[in-house]
Structure 1
Amino acid sequence: MLRRILLTALCCAPLTVSAELRHFVASLDNSQWRITQNNPVSCQLEHNIPMYGNAVFSSQASKKLNLDFMLEMWRKPEKVTKAELVSRAPIWRPGIPDKKLTEITYQRYFNGEVPKAEAWTMLNELSKGMQPTFYYADWYNKFERVAVGLSAANFHHKYSQFQRCLSNLLPYSFNDIAFTVLNFKSNSTELTRFSKQQMDRIQEYLSYEPEVELVLVDAYTDSYGGRSANKRVSTRRADMIKKYLMESGIQQNRIVTKGHGEERHVAANDTLAARAKNRRVIIQINKNG
Protein backbone atom coordinates (compact mmCIF):
# COMPACT_ATOMS: atom_id res chain seq x y z
CA MET A 1 0.00 0.00 0.00
CA LEU A 2 2.80 2.37 0.95
CA ARG A 3 4.63 1.49 -2.29
CA ARG A 4 1.50 2.36 -4.32
CA ILE A 5 1.22 5.77 -2.61
CA LEU A 6 4.86 6.58 -3.32
CA LEU A 7 4.52 5.60 -6.99
CA THR A 8 1.39 7.74 -7.32
CA ALA A 9 3.13 10.73 -5.75
CA LEU A 10 6.11 10.44 -8.09
CA CYS A 11 3.85 10.06 -11.10
CA CYS A 12 1.76 13.10 -10.35
CA ALA A 13 4.52 15.46 -9.05
CA PRO A 14 5.18 18.46 -11.37
CA LEU A 15 8.42 18.34 -13.37
CA THR A 16 10.66 21.34 -12.70
CA VAL A 17 13.85 22.14 -14.51
CA SER A 18 16.45 24.19 -12.67
CA ALA A 19 17.74 26.79 -15.15
CA GLU A 20 21.49 27.11 -15.39
CA LEU A 21 22.69 30.61 -14.50
CA ARG A 22 25.54 32.41 -16.26
CA HIS A 23 26.63 35.32 -14.07
CA PHE A 24 28.62 38.29 -15.45
CA VAL A 25 30.00 40.61 -12.77
CA ALA A 26 33.38 42.12 -11.97
CA SER A 27 35.26 40.51 -9.13
CA LEU A 28 36.35 42.45 -6.07
CA ASP A 29 39.86 42.74 -7.51
CA ASN A 30 39.05 43.84 -11.05
CA SER A 31 36.00 46.07 -10.47
CA GLN A 32 36.69 49.43 -12.08
CA TRP A 33 34.64 52.61 -12.35
CA ARG A 34 35.79 55.56 -14.43
CA ILE A 35 34.66 59.05 -15.35
CA THR A 36 34.73 59.33 -19.15
CA GLN A 37 33.09 62.77 -19.53
CA ASN A 38 33.48 65.52 -16.97
CA ASN A 39 32.55 69.04 -18.09
CA PRO A 40 29.62 71.50 -17.82
CA VAL A 41 28.02 69.98 -20.93
CA SER A 42 28.20 66.25 -20.21
CA CYS A 43 28.91 63.87 -17.30
CA GLN A 44 29.48 60.14 -17.79
CA LEU A 45 30.29 57.34 -15.34
CA GLU A 46 31.23 53.93 -16.76
CA HIS A 47 31.79 50.46 -15.36
CA ASN A 48 33.28 47.50 -17.22
CA ILE A 49 31.49 44.15 -16.93
CA PRO A 50 34.06 41.49 -17.90
CA MET A 51 33.14 39.31 -20.89
CA TYR A 52 29.89 41.23 -21.36
CA GLY A 53 30.16 44.99 -21.99
CA ASN A 54 29.81 48.30 -20.16
CA ALA A 55 27.36 49.96 -17.79
CA VAL A 56 27.06 53.69 -18.51
CA PHE A 57 25.38 56.42 -16.44
CA SER A 58 25.22 59.80 -18.21
CA SER A 59 23.68 63.24 -17.82
CA GLN A 60 23.61 66.24 -20.16
CA ALA A 61 23.35 69.99 -19.64
CA SER A 62 19.67 70.89 -19.47
CA LYS A 63 17.07 73.04 -17.74
CA LYS A 64 16.20 69.98 -15.63
CA LEU A 65 18.53 67.43 -14.05
CA ASN A 66 18.46 64.25 -16.09
CA LEU A 67 20.05 60.81 -15.95
CA ASP A 68 20.32 58.03 -18.51
CA PHE A 69 21.52 54.47 -18.02
CA MET A 70 22.69 52.24 -20.83
CA LEU A 71 23.76 48.60 -20.59
CA GLU A 72 26.12 48.41 -23.56
CA MET A 73 26.34 44.77 -24.64
CA TRP A 74 29.07 43.32 -26.79
CA ARG A 75 26.44 41.00 -28.22
CA LYS A 76 23.10 42.71 -28.78
CA PRO A 77 19.77 40.92 -28.11
CA GLU A 78 18.69 38.60 -30.91
CA LYS A 79 15.05 39.08 -29.99
CA VAL A 80 12.81 41.16 -27.74
CA THR A 81 13.63 40.05 -24.19
CA LYS A 82 12.02 40.74 -20.83
CA ALA A 83 14.52 41.41 -18.05
CA GLU A 84 14.17 41.90 -14.32
CA LEU A 85 16.36 44.39 -12.46
CA VAL A 86 17.13 43.32 -8.89
CA SER A 87 19.31 44.85 -6.19
CA ARG A 88 21.24 42.01 -4.59
CA ALA A 89 24.00 41.82 -2.02
CA PRO A 90 27.49 40.76 -3.15
CA ILE A 91 28.73 37.37 -1.99
CA TRP A 92 30.79 38.97 0.78
CA ARG A 93 27.60 40.38 2.39
CA PRO A 94 25.47 37.27 3.03
CA GLY A 95 22.03 37.43 4.58
CA ILE A 96 20.78 40.63 2.90
CA PRO A 97 17.59 39.90 0.90
CA ASP A 98 17.22 40.80 -2.77
CA LYS A 99 15.04 43.77 -3.74
CA LYS A 100 13.27 43.98 -7.09
CA LEU A 101 13.70 47.39 -8.72
CA THR A 102 11.84 47.15 -12.03
CA GLU A 103 11.21 45.17 -15.19
CA ILE A 104 12.50 46.33 -18.56
CA THR A 105 12.42 45.13 -22.15
CA TYR A 106 15.51 44.65 -24.28
CA GLN A 107 14.70 45.55 -27.86
CA ARG A 108 16.18 43.46 -30.65
CA TYR A 109 19.70 44.61 -31.63
CA PHE A 110 19.65 47.49 -29.11
CA ASN A 111 21.43 48.08 -25.82
CA GLY A 112 19.45 47.89 -22.59
CA GLU A 113 18.06 51.15 -21.21
CA VAL A 114 16.63 51.93 -17.77
CA PRO A 115 14.16 54.78 -17.01
CA LYS A 116 15.43 57.87 -15.19
CA ALA A 117 13.91 57.12 -11.76
CA GLU A 118 15.23 53.55 -11.70
CA ALA A 119 18.66 54.76 -12.87
CA TRP A 120 18.84 57.02 -9.81
CA THR A 121 17.77 54.05 -7.68
CA MET A 122 20.59 51.97 -9.14
CA LEU A 123 23.13 54.62 -8.11
CA ASN A 124 21.61 54.73 -4.64
CA GLU A 125 21.82 50.95 -4.30
CA LEU A 126 25.44 50.98 -5.47
CA SER A 127 26.25 53.62 -2.86
CA LYS A 128 24.90 51.18 -0.23
CA GLY A 129 27.27 48.47 -1.46
CA MET A 130 24.60 46.52 -3.34
CA GLN A 131 24.80 45.03 -6.84
CA PRO A 132 22.05 46.07 -9.30
CA THR A 133 21.65 42.93 -11.42
CA PHE A 134 19.74 42.19 -14.62
CA TYR A 135 18.19 38.72 -15.01
CA TYR A 136 16.85 37.40 -18.30
CA ALA A 137 16.47 34.19 -20.26
CA ASP A 138 19.19 33.33 -22.75
CA TRP A 139 18.23 34.21 -26.33
CA TYR A 140 19.14 30.74 -27.63
CA ASN A 141 18.50 28.40 -24.71
CA LYS A 142 15.35 28.76 -22.63
CA PHE A 143 16.87 26.55 -19.94
CA GLU A 144 19.66 29.04 -19.30
CA ARG A 145 19.36 32.35 -17.47
CA VAL A 146 21.77 35.25 -17.60
CA ALA A 147 22.63 37.55 -14.71
CA VAL A 148 24.51 40.80 -15.38
CA GLY A 149 25.63 42.67 -12.29
CA LEU A 150 27.19 46.03 -11.49
CA SER A 151 29.82 45.72 -8.77
CA ALA A 152 29.89 48.34 -6.00
CA ALA A 153 33.61 47.75 -5.38
CA ASN A 154 35.65 50.92 -5.98
CA PHE A 155 32.44 52.83 -6.72
CA HIS A 156 32.28 55.60 -4.10
CA HIS A 157 35.22 57.75 -5.14
CA LYS A 158 34.19 57.93 -8.80
CA TYR A 159 30.56 58.46 -7.81
CA SER A 160 31.61 61.53 -5.80
CA GLN A 161 33.32 62.91 -8.90
CA PHE A 162 30.22 62.16 -10.97
CA GLN A 163 28.02 64.03 -8.48
CA ARG A 164 30.32 67.06 -8.58
CA CYS A 165 30.10 67.02 -12.36
CA LEU A 166 26.30 66.91 -12.19
CA SER A 167 26.25 69.96 -9.91
CA ASN A 168 28.26 71.95 -12.49
CA LEU A 169 26.17 71.17 -15.58
CA LEU A 170 24.96 74.21 -17.52
CA PRO A 171 21.27 75.04 -16.90
CA TYR A 172 20.45 74.85 -20.62
CA SER A 173 20.86 72.23 -23.33
CA PHE A 174 22.17 72.06 -26.87
CA ASN A 175 18.58 72.31 -28.12
CA ASP A 176 18.28 75.67 -26.35
CA ILE A 177 21.06 77.16 -28.49
CA ALA A 178 20.79 75.10 -31.70
CA PHE A 179 18.40 77.65 -33.24
CA THR A 180 18.92 81.18 -31.98
CA VAL A 181 17.74 84.56 -33.26
CA LEU A 182 19.90 87.55 -32.34
CA ASN A 183 18.89 91.18 -32.83
CA PHE A 184 20.99 94.30 -33.47
CA LYS A 185 20.76 97.97 -32.71
CA SER A 186 19.74 100.22 -35.59
CA ASN A 187 22.40 100.76 -38.30
CA SER A 188 24.95 98.95 -36.14
CA THR A 189 26.82 95.69 -35.67
CA GLU A 190 26.19 95.90 -31.92
CA LEU A 191 23.85 93.31 -30.44
CA THR A 192 20.99 94.28 -28.17
CA ARG A 193 21.52 93.57 -24.47
CA PHE A 194 19.32 90.47 -24.51
CA SER A 195 21.03 89.13 -27.64
CA LYS A 196 24.43 89.64 -26.00
CA GLN A 197 23.26 87.37 -23.19
CA GLN A 198 22.11 84.79 -25.72
CA MET A 199 25.46 84.98 -27.53
CA ASP A 200 27.27 84.50 -24.23
CA ARG A 201 25.31 81.29 -23.65
CA ILE A 202 26.18 80.01 -27.12
CA GLN A 203 29.88 80.79 -26.62
CA GLU A 204 29.93 79.17 -23.19
CA TYR A 205 28.25 75.98 -24.39
CA LEU A 206 30.37 75.63 -27.53
CA SER A 207 33.59 76.26 -25.60
CA TYR A 208 32.99 72.85 -23.98
CA GLU A 209 31.72 71.19 -27.15
CA PRO A 210 33.46 72.78 -30.14
CA GLU A 211 33.30 69.74 -32.44
CA VAL A 212 30.05 70.67 -34.14
CA GLU A 213 29.35 69.55 -37.67
CA LEU A 214 28.10 72.79 -39.19
CA VAL A 215 26.97 76.29 -38.16
CA LEU A 216 24.79 78.36 -40.48
CA VAL A 217 24.70 82.13 -39.90
CA ASP A 218 22.11 84.15 -41.83
CA ALA A 219 22.01 87.93 -41.27
CA TYR A 220 19.20 90.33 -42.18
CA THR A 221 18.47 94.06 -41.88
CA ASP A 222 15.40 96.26 -41.85
CA SER A 223 14.46 98.42 -44.88
CA TYR A 224 15.73 101.65 -43.39
CA GLY A 225 18.52 102.88 -45.68
CA GLY A 226 19.76 101.88 -49.11
CA ARG A 227 19.51 98.32 -50.35
CA SER A 228 23.22 97.91 -51.12
CA ALA A 229 24.21 99.49 -47.80
CA ASN A 230 21.91 97.11 -45.95
CA LYS A 231 23.50 94.19 -47.78
CA ARG A 232 26.94 95.26 -46.54
CA VAL A 233 25.67 95.76 -42.99
CA SER A 234 24.16 92.28 -42.89
CA THR A 235 27.42 90.77 -44.16
CA ARG A 236 29.39 92.58 -41.43
CA ARG A 237 26.94 91.29 -38.82
CA ALA A 238 27.29 87.73 -40.05
CA ASP A 239 31.10 88.04 -40.01
CA MET A 240 31.01 89.38 -36.46
CA ILE A 241 29.01 86.35 -35.29
CA LYS A 242 31.44 84.08 -37.13
CA LYS A 243 34.31 85.66 -35.18
CA TYR A 244 32.50 84.99 -31.90
CA LEU A 245 31.97 81.37 -32.88
CA MET A 246 35.60 80.88 -33.83
CA GLU A 247 36.62 82.30 -30.45
CA SER A 248 34.46 79.55 -28.92
CA GLY A 249 36.55 76.90 -30.66
CA ILE A 250 34.51 76.24 -33.81
CA GLN A 251 36.68 75.66 -36.86
CA GLN A 252 36.35 78.31 -39.56
CA ASN A 253 35.50 75.79 -42.30
CA ARG A 254 32.46 74.65 -40.31
CA ILE A 255 30.84 78.08 -40.27
CA VAL A 256 28.83 79.21 -43.29
CA THR A 257 27.71 82.86 -43.31
CA LYS A 258 25.49 84.87 -45.61
CA GLY A 259 24.26 88.46 -45.50
CA HIS A 260 20.77 88.81 -46.95
CA GLY A 261 20.29 92.55 -46.49
CA GLU A 262 16.65 93.59 -46.25
CA GLU A 263 15.26 90.34 -47.70
CA ARG A 264 12.76 88.07 -45.92
CA HIS A 265 11.26 90.42 -43.37
CA VAL A 266 9.50 88.86 -40.42
CA ALA A 267 7.63 92.07 -39.57
CA ALA A 268 6.52 95.30 -41.23
CA ASN A 269 9.00 98.21 -41.30
CA ASP A 270 6.59 100.97 -40.33
CA THR A 271 7.42 101.01 -36.60
CA LEU A 272 10.60 100.95 -34.51
CA ALA A 273 9.59 97.66 -32.88
CA ALA A 274 8.91 95.99 -36.24
CA ARG A 275 12.22 97.13 -37.72
CA ALA A 276 14.04 95.83 -34.65
CA LYS A 277 12.69 92.34 -35.36
CA ASN A 278 13.99 92.47 -38.91
CA ARG A 279 17.53 93.41 -37.78
CA ARG A 280 18.46 89.85 -36.92
CA VAL A 281 20.93 87.04 -37.30
CA ILE A 282 19.74 83.44 -37.27
CA ILE A 283 22.22 80.86 -35.98
CA GLN A 284 21.58 77.17 -36.72
CA ILE A 285 23.97 74.65 -35.18
CA ASN A 286 24.19 70.99 -36.18
CA LYS A 287 26.29 68.37 -34.44
CA ASN A 288 26.93 64.68 -34.89
CA GLY A 289 24.84 62.32 -32.79
Structure 2
Amino acid sequence: MALRIFRTLTSLAGGLGLVLSGQSGAATYGAGIENSQWYLSESVFECSLVHEVPGYGRAVFRHRAGENLQFYLESASPVMKPGRGLVVVEAPSWRPGVAPRPVGTVDVSGSNRPVYLDARQARQLVQGLLEGLRPTVTRESWYDGKPVRVQVSNVNFGRPFQQYQLCAGNLLPVNYDQIQRSRIPFASGSAELSASDRQLLDNIVRYVQADTTVERIFVDGHTDRLGSRIDNRALSEERANIVADYLMSQGISEDLIIVRAHGDQYPASRRPSENRRTTIRLQREGERPEFQQANGYGGESAG
Protein backbone atom coordinates (compact mmCIF):
# COMPACT_ATOMS: atom_id res chain seq x y z
CA MET A 1 0.00 0.00 0.00
CA ALA A 2 2.76 2.46 0.97
CA LEU A 3 4.61 1.70 -2.28
CA ARG A 4 1.44 2.30 -4.32
CA ILE A 5 0.85 5.64 -2.60
CA PHE A 6 4.45 6.66 -3.24
CA ARG A 7 4.12 5.76 -6.92
CA THR A 8 0.91 7.75 -7.16
CA LEU A 9 2.56 10.81 -5.61
CA THR A 10 5.63 10.39 -7.80
CA SER A 11 3.43 10.21 -10.89
CA LEU A 12 1.45 13.32 -9.91
CA ALA A 13 4.56 15.27 -8.99
CA GLY A 14 6.39 14.23 -12.15
CA GLY A 15 3.51 15.34 -14.32
CA LEU A 16 3.64 18.75 -12.65
CA GLY A 17 7.42 19.10 -12.84
CA LEU A 18 7.76 18.82 -9.05
CA VAL A 19 10.05 16.86 -6.77
CA LEU A 20 8.66 15.14 -3.68
CA SER A 21 9.62 16.08 -0.12
CA GLY A 22 13.05 15.16 1.10
CA GLN A 23 14.77 16.73 -1.88
CA SER A 24 17.54 19.27 -1.45
CA GLY A 25 16.93 22.83 -2.53
CA ALA A 26 13.24 22.93 -1.65
CA ALA A 27 12.06 25.98 0.29
CA THR A 28 9.71 24.87 3.07
CA TYR A 29 7.42 27.18 5.03
CA GLY A 30 5.72 25.89 8.15
CA ALA A 31 5.29 26.41 11.87
CA GLY A 32 7.28 24.33 14.33
CA ILE A 33 6.02 22.82 17.56
CA GLU A 34 7.02 25.94 19.47
CA ASN A 35 5.10 28.44 17.32
CA SER A 36 2.14 26.53 15.88
CA GLN A 37 -1.12 28.29 16.70
CA TRP A 38 -4.71 28.21 15.44
CA TYR A 39 -7.17 31.05 15.94
CA LEU A 40 -10.96 30.83 15.66
CA SER A 41 -13.07 33.73 14.43
CA GLU A 42 -16.75 33.00 15.01
CA SER A 43 -20.17 34.51 14.42
CA VAL A 44 -23.54 33.38 13.07
CA PHE A 45 -22.39 34.65 9.66
CA GLU A 46 -19.03 32.89 9.35
CA CYS A 47 -16.57 30.59 11.13
CA SER A 48 -12.85 30.77 10.29
CA LEU A 49 -9.87 28.80 11.57
CA VAL A 50 -6.67 30.73 10.88
CA HIS A 51 -3.13 29.33 11.08
CA GLU A 52 -0.05 31.52 10.73
CA VAL A 53 2.61 30.04 8.44
CA PRO A 54 5.89 31.78 9.38
CA GLY A 55 7.62 33.44 6.46
CA TYR A 56 4.73 32.73 4.10
CA GLY A 57 1.37 34.02 5.32
CA ARG A 58 -1.74 32.23 6.52
CA ALA A 59 -3.71 29.02 6.02
CA VAL A 60 -7.45 29.46 6.51
CA PHE A 61 -10.42 27.13 6.83
CA ARG A 62 -13.50 29.26 6.14
CA HIS A 63 -17.16 28.33 6.45
CA ARG A 64 -19.72 30.99 5.49
CA ALA A 65 -23.38 30.63 6.38
CA GLY A 66 -25.23 28.83 3.61
CA GLU A 67 -22.03 27.55 1.98
CA ASN A 68 -19.63 24.64 2.31
CA LEU A 69 -16.29 24.59 4.08
CA GLN A 70 -13.38 25.86 2.00
CA PHE A 71 -9.63 26.18 2.52
CA TYR A 72 -7.21 28.72 1.14
CA LEU A 73 -3.64 29.91 1.50
CA GLU A 74 -2.97 33.64 1.78
CA SER A 75 0.35 35.38 1.18
CA ALA A 76 1.23 39.08 1.01
CA SER A 77 3.76 38.48 -1.78
CA PRO A 78 3.83 35.81 -4.51
CA VAL A 79 5.97 32.82 -3.65
CA MET A 80 4.60 30.12 -5.92
CA LYS A 81 4.61 30.31 -9.69
CA PRO A 82 1.07 30.16 -11.16
CA GLY A 83 0.19 26.72 -12.47
CA ARG A 84 -0.64 23.26 -11.15
CA GLY A 85 0.45 22.37 -7.64
CA LEU A 86 0.30 19.18 -5.59
CA VAL A 87 -1.54 18.72 -2.28
CA VAL A 88 -0.72 15.87 0.10
CA VAL A 89 -1.25 15.03 3.75
CA GLU A 90 1.98 13.79 5.28
CA ALA A 91 3.48 12.83 8.61
CA PRO A 92 5.73 15.28 10.47
CA SER A 93 9.43 14.48 10.71
CA TRP A 94 9.04 12.95 14.17
CA ARG A 95 6.72 10.23 12.75
CA PRO A 96 8.95 8.42 10.23
CA GLY A 97 7.56 5.56 8.17
CA VAL A 98 4.06 7.00 7.66
CA ALA A 99 3.34 7.23 3.94
CA PRO A 100 2.03 10.57 2.58
CA ARG A 101 -1.59 10.59 1.40
CA PRO A 102 -2.43 12.32 -1.88
CA VAL A 103 -5.26 14.86 -1.86
CA GLY A 104 -4.90 15.93 -5.49
CA THR A 105 -3.75 18.77 -7.67
CA VAL A 106 -4.70 22.41 -7.34
CA ASP A 107 -4.56 25.49 -9.55
CA VAL A 108 -2.11 28.00 -8.07
CA SER A 109 -2.90 31.60 -9.04
CA GLY A 110 -0.81 34.75 -8.90
CA SER A 111 -3.15 36.48 -6.43
CA ASN A 112 -2.63 37.00 -2.71
CA ARG A 113 -4.84 33.93 -2.20
CA PRO A 114 -3.10 31.58 -4.60
CA VAL A 115 -4.59 28.29 -3.40
CA TYR A 116 -8.28 27.46 -2.94
CA LEU A 117 -9.59 24.00 -2.11
CA ASP A 118 -13.22 22.92 -2.34
CA ALA A 119 -15.24 21.33 0.45
CA ARG A 120 -14.21 17.75 -0.34
CA GLN A 121 -10.49 18.51 -0.35
CA ALA A 122 -10.80 20.82 2.67
CA ARG A 123 -12.41 17.98 4.64
CA GLN A 124 -9.52 15.70 3.63
CA LEU A 125 -7.13 18.26 5.11
CA VAL A 126 -9.16 18.45 8.31
CA GLN A 127 -9.17 14.66 8.64
CA GLY A 128 -5.41 14.58 8.17
CA LEU A 129 -4.88 17.25 10.81
CA LEU A 130 -7.05 15.34 13.27
CA GLU A 131 -4.89 12.27 12.62
CA GLY A 132 -1.75 14.23 13.48
CA LEU A 133 -0.64 14.76 9.88
CA ARG A 134 0.39 17.91 8.01
CA PRO A 135 -1.28 19.11 4.81
CA THR A 136 1.39 20.29 2.36
CA VAL A 137 1.09 22.23 -0.89
CA THR A 138 4.03 21.98 -3.30
CA ARG A 139 4.59 24.14 -6.35
CA GLU A 140 7.49 25.65 -8.28
CA SER A 141 8.97 28.84 -6.93
CA TRP A 142 8.04 32.09 -8.69
CA TYR A 143 11.72 33.11 -8.73
CA ASP A 144 13.96 30.15 -9.47
CA GLY A 145 11.70 27.23 -10.37
CA LYS A 146 12.76 25.15 -7.38
CA PRO A 147 10.00 23.49 -5.33
CA VAL A 148 8.23 25.51 -2.66
CA ARG A 149 6.46 23.64 0.12
CA VAL A 150 3.84 25.25 2.36
CA GLN A 151 3.00 23.09 5.36
CA VAL A 152 -0.01 23.37 7.66
CA SER A 153 0.82 22.27 11.19
CA ASN A 154 -1.42 19.90 13.13
CA VAL A 155 -0.01 21.07 16.48
CA ASN A 156 -2.68 22.71 18.69
CA PHE A 157 -5.38 22.09 16.05
CA GLY A 158 -7.74 19.84 18.04
CA ARG A 159 -9.29 22.23 20.57
CA PRO A 160 -9.89 25.13 18.13
CA PHE A 161 -11.48 22.65 15.71
CA GLN A 162 -13.91 21.52 18.40
CA GLN A 163 -14.87 25.16 18.93
CA TYR A 164 -15.18 25.58 15.16
CA GLN A 165 -17.65 22.68 15.03
CA LEU A 166 -19.83 24.40 17.61
CA CYS A 167 -19.66 27.61 15.61
CA ALA A 168 -20.57 25.84 12.36
CA GLY A 169 -23.60 24.28 14.04
CA ASN A 170 -24.92 27.76 14.87
CA LEU A 171 -24.44 29.36 11.46
CA LEU A 172 -27.41 30.98 9.77
CA PRO A 173 -28.93 28.95 6.91
CA VAL A 174 -28.03 31.66 4.37
CA ASN A 175 -25.60 34.53 3.88
CA TYR A 176 -26.19 38.05 2.61
CA ASP A 177 -25.08 37.35 -0.94
CA GLN A 178 -27.59 34.51 -1.20
CA ILE A 179 -30.64 36.47 -0.06
CA GLN A 180 -29.79 40.07 -0.90
CA ARG A 181 -31.99 39.63 -3.95
CA SER A 182 -34.71 36.99 -3.79
CA ARG A 183 -37.70 36.09 -5.94
CA ILE A 184 -41.09 34.56 -5.13
CA PRO A 185 -42.84 33.10 -8.21
CA PHE A 186 -46.64 32.92 -8.56
CA ALA A 187 -49.08 30.92 -10.62
CA SER A 188 -51.26 32.79 -13.10
CA GLY A 189 -53.79 34.97 -11.25
CA SER A 190 -52.51 33.73 -7.87
CA ALA A 191 -51.16 35.53 -4.84
CA GLU A 192 -50.63 32.48 -2.62
CA LEU A 193 -47.36 31.45 -0.99
CA SER A 194 -46.12 27.89 -1.25
CA ALA A 195 -44.27 25.98 1.47
CA SER A 196 -40.95 26.61 -0.32
CA ASP A 197 -41.78 30.32 -0.56
CA ARG A 198 -42.36 30.49 3.18
CA GLN A 199 -39.08 28.66 3.82
CA LEU A 200 -37.23 31.25 1.72
CA LEU A 201 -38.94 34.08 3.59
CA ASP A 202 -38.16 32.41 6.93
CA ASN A 203 -34.47 32.39 5.96
CA ILE A 204 -34.67 36.08 5.08
CA VAL A 205 -36.30 36.78 8.46
CA ARG A 206 -33.59 34.90 10.35
CA TYR A 207 -30.88 36.77 8.49
CA VAL A 208 -32.40 40.23 8.94
CA GLN A 209 -32.96 39.63 12.65
CA ALA A 210 -29.26 38.74 13.01
CA ASP A 211 -27.82 41.50 10.81
CA THR A 212 -28.59 44.87 12.38
CA THR A 213 -27.02 46.69 9.43
CA VAL A 214 -30.00 45.86 7.17
CA GLU A 215 -31.96 49.12 7.01
CA ARG A 216 -34.42 48.53 4.16
CA ILE A 217 -36.35 45.64 2.64
CA PHE A 218 -37.82 46.45 -0.75
CA VAL A 219 -40.78 44.24 -1.70
CA ASP A 220 -41.89 44.67 -5.33
CA GLY A 221 -44.91 42.97 -6.87
CA HIS A 222 -45.11 42.18 -10.61
CA THR A 223 -47.43 40.43 -13.06
CA ASP A 224 -47.38 39.18 -16.63
CA ARG A 225 -49.11 41.14 -19.40
CA LEU A 226 -52.19 38.96 -19.59
CA GLY A 227 -55.37 40.78 -18.60
CA SER A 228 -56.04 44.47 -18.07
CA ARG A 229 -53.46 46.87 -16.64
CA ILE A 230 -55.84 47.87 -13.85
CA ASP A 231 -56.30 44.24 -12.78
CA ASN A 232 -52.58 43.57 -13.08
CA ARG A 233 -51.74 46.54 -10.90
CA ALA A 234 -54.12 45.30 -8.21
CA LEU A 235 -52.73 41.74 -8.45
CA SER A 236 -49.13 42.94 -8.19
CA GLU A 237 -50.05 44.90 -5.08
CA GLU A 238 -51.69 41.83 -3.58
CA ARG A 239 -48.58 39.77 -4.33
CA ALA A 240 -46.29 42.34 -2.72
CA ASN A 241 -48.54 42.68 0.32
CA ILE A 242 -48.78 38.95 0.98
CA VAL A 243 -44.97 38.76 1.10
CA ALA A 244 -44.66 41.87 3.27
CA ASP A 245 -47.40 40.65 5.62
CA TYR A 246 -45.65 37.31 6.04
CA LEU A 247 -42.34 38.99 6.86
CA MET A 248 -44.04 41.15 9.47
CA SER A 249 -45.92 38.17 10.93
CA GLN A 250 -42.55 36.53 11.55
CA GLY A 251 -41.16 39.52 13.43
CA ILE A 252 -39.78 41.96 10.86
CA SER A 253 -40.54 45.57 11.72
CA GLU A 254 -42.97 47.32 9.39
CA ASP A 255 -40.60 50.29 9.42
CA LEU A 256 -37.99 48.28 7.48
CA ILE A 257 -40.30 47.29 4.64
CA ILE A 258 -41.08 49.33 1.54
CA VAL A 259 -43.86 47.82 -0.59
CA ARG A 260 -44.25 48.72 -4.25
CA ALA A 261 -46.60 47.42 -6.94
CA HIS A 262 -45.67 47.63 -10.63
CA GLY A 263 -48.27 45.57 -12.45
CA ASP A 264 -46.89 44.46 -15.82
CA GLN A 265 -44.67 47.52 -16.19
CA TYR A 266 -41.27 45.81 -15.76
CA PRO A 267 -41.15 42.39 -17.40
CA ALA A 268 -38.10 40.30 -16.53
CA SER A 269 -38.54 37.92 -19.45
CA ARG A 270 -40.58 37.16 -22.55
CA ARG A 271 -41.98 34.20 -20.64
CA PRO A 272 -45.15 35.16 -18.74
CA SER A 273 -44.39 32.67 -15.95
CA GLU A 274 -41.13 34.49 -15.10
CA ASN A 275 -42.93 37.83 -14.81
CA ARG A 276 -45.46 36.65 -12.22
CA ARG A 277 -43.30 37.39 -9.20
CA THR A 278 -42.53 39.37 -6.10
CA THR A 279 -38.90 40.38 -5.59
CA ILE A 280 -37.28 41.09 -2.23
CA ARG A 281 -34.11 43.19 -2.01
CA LEU A 282 -32.19 43.92 1.18
CA GLN A 283 -30.21 47.10 1.64
CA ARG A 284 -27.56 47.57 4.30
CA GLU A 285 -26.41 50.77 5.91
CA GLY A 286 -23.94 52.56 3.68
CA GLU A 287 -25.01 50.78 0.51
CA ARG A 288 -26.04 53.13 -2.26
CA PRO A 289 -29.39 52.15 -3.76
CA GLU A 290 -28.89 51.02 -7.31
CA PHE A 291 -30.65 52.84 -10.12
CA GLN A 292 -31.82 50.66 -12.93
CA GLN A 293 -33.61 51.73 -16.07
CA ALA A 294 -36.70 49.55 -15.95
CA ASN A 295 -37.94 49.36 -19.48
CA GLY A 296 -38.20 46.48 -21.91
CA TYR A 297 -37.32 42.84 -21.40
CA GLY A 298 -34.60 42.05 -18.93
CA GLY A 299 -35.07 45.30 -16.99
CA GLU A 300 -36.51 45.55 -13.53
CA SER A 301 -37.08 48.24 -10.99
CA ALA A 302 -34.75 48.51 -8.03
CA GLY A 303 -35.80 45.65 -5.87
TM-score if structure 1 supplies the norm length?
0.65
Paired residue secondary structure (2:93) = coil
Q: Give the percent of matched residue pairs that are identical in Structure 1 and Structure 2.
A: 26
Partner Cα distance (1:213, 1:84) in 2: 46
Paired residue secondary structure (1:29) = helix
Which of 2, 22, 27 is matched with 1:22 structurally? Answer: 27
Which of 39, 42, 46 is matched with 1:37 structurally? Answer: 42
Which of 109, 115, 122 is matched with 2:118 structurally? Answer: 115
* Corresponding residue of 1:51: 55
1:83 and 2:85 correspond: yes
Partner Cα distance (1:239, 1:84) in 2: 50
Partner Cα distance (2:247, 2:203) in 1: 15
* Corresponding residue of 1:149: 151
Paired residue secondary structure (1:166) = helix
Deviation at 1:132, TM superposition (A): 0.6
Which of 46, 59, 76 is matched with 1:74 structurally? Answer: 76
Partner Cα distance (1:78, 1:93) in 2: 27
Contact map agreement 1:79 1:139 (CA 8 A) in 2: yes
Report the CA distance shift for 1:131/1:235 in structure 2 as closer, same or farther (over 3 A).
Answer: closer
**Unpaired segments ≥5 residues, structure 1:** 1-17, 267-276
Contact map agreement 2:43 2:171 (CA 8 A) in 1: no
Report the CA distance shift for 1:57/1:238 in structure 2 as closer, same or farther (over 3 A).
Answer: same
Contact map agreement 2:136 2:151 (CA 8 A) in 1: yes
Larger Rg: 1
Deviation at 1:61, TM superposition (A): 3.4
**Offset from partner CA, 1:106-137 (integer Å, 9 cap, x none):** 02335211233221110000001111111122
* Corresponding residue of 1:106: 108
Contact map agreement 1:219 1:259 (CA 8 A) in 2: yes
**Offset from partner CA, 1:5-51 (integer Å, 9 cap, x none):** xxxxxxxxxxxxx6412211112122111222332x43322211122
Deviation at 1:87, TM superposition (A): 1.6
1:124 and 2:127 correspond: yes
Q: CA RMSD in A?
A: 4.5
Contact map agreement 1:235 1:258 (CA 8 A) in 2: no
Which of 178, 182, 195 is matched with 2:181 structurally? Answer: 178
Deviation at 1:75, TM superposition (A): 1.5
Partner Cα distance (1:78, 1:89) in 2: 23
Deviation at 1:55, TM superposition (A): 1.1
* Corresponding residue of 2:8: none
**Offset from partner CA, 1:54-93 (integer Å, 9 cap, x none):** 111122333xx72211111222367423321122222333
